[in-house]
Structure 1
Amino acid sequence: MRRRGIRHTVPERLDQQKHRRNRGSRGGRPTGFDSEHYKKRNTVERTISRLKGFRGVATRYE
């Protein structure tokens, strides 16, 4: 995904952040989390979830 320039939108867990900090320079670089992008992704996922609740959409009737 990095080669294609796709950024992740899932926030890093607190225990992972602490572990990376404890490792110091060997811990790797921090992830580039964008909260605005995450909010938009969350909205899209909730909308798709609601659409799946409608039988006509979920089973492709109509």
Structure 2
Amino acid sequence: MKLTPQDTSPPVALLEHVGQQFGATIALRDISLAIPARRMVGLIGRTASAIEPAFR
């Protein structure tokens, strides 16, 4: 596979080892995500309670 300049550019959004806890409830545990330029990404989960803290 040949890499293009787009494939080697840094991500426009980067999360590394993110966690979020509300009292005893763990919403996120060790989440890592890299979003490349000009790409659409969807996060799917049971509720928005785990997705929303990742982007605060």
TM-score (norm 2): 0.22
- Rg larger for: 1
The structure whose residues are more often helix, as a share, is 1
Greater relative contact order (Cα < 8 A, sep 6+) = 2
The structure whose residues are more often strand, as a share, is 2
TM-score (norm 1): 0.21
